[in-house]
Amino acid sequence: MAQDDPAYLIAARRDIGVREIKGPKHSGRILEMLIRLRAWWSDDETPWCGVAVAAWLSEAGYPIPKHYYRALAWSDYGQQLGAPCHGAIAVLTRKGGGHVGLVTGVTPDLSHVRLLGGNQNDAVNESWFPASRITAYRLPPGVERRATEVTRVGRLSGSEA
């Protein structure tokens, strides 16, 4: 954890390890997120990456997009960036939809980006994604881009979603 992590990234780190519960039971923490955001559904099997990012931003006092539950809705949120920075919101495309998470690292060649996000292999964790899948980097309104670059990590570790 960086000393100057934004409050929403600190909130996200507290949830590392939260995971879905398959079947009729559901994760208490994911249900808390849904209640906080006034979602109309109450299960942890509906895609929840956007829910997690919205919950962390909301807990830190930031506004969230109207359709926060849609990963691709984050493409128009806040301030646009041309490149990743620590704590940026990364929006990815994939067949059938998208994914959203918070940037915590990049490879030296910038080919992969490490994201802290929800619903990454059904859990909150840090996972690597090809940078080619990222269609937008955003910062919440009022958040300044850090002067330092995002941490460059020599090897990929963790899973790729």
pTM: predicted TM-score of the whole model, two decimal places? 0.91
pLDDT of residue 95: 86
Q: Report whether pLDDT(156) > 70.
A: no
Q: Report whether pLDDT(94) > 90.
A: no
Domains observed in the chain:
7-139 (3.90.1720)
Considering the chain, what percentage of its residues have pLDDT values greater than 70? 88
Give 67's contacts (C-beta < 8 A, 6+ positions apart).
73
Q: In which band, very low, low, confident or very high, does the pLDDT at 145 lie, cut at 50, 70 and 90?
A: confident
Of 51, 48, 56, the closest CA to residue 38 belongs to 51
pLDDT of residue 24: 92
pLDDT of residue 129: 96
pLDDT of residue 117: 98
Q: In which band, very low, low, confident or very high, does the pLDDT at 144 lie, cut at 50, 70 and 90?
A: confident
Give 38's contacts (C-beta < 8 A, 6+ positions apart).
none
- The mean predicted confidence, pLDDT, of the chain is 90
* C-alpha distances out from residue 155 to 112, 113, 128, 158, Å: 10, 11, 10, 10
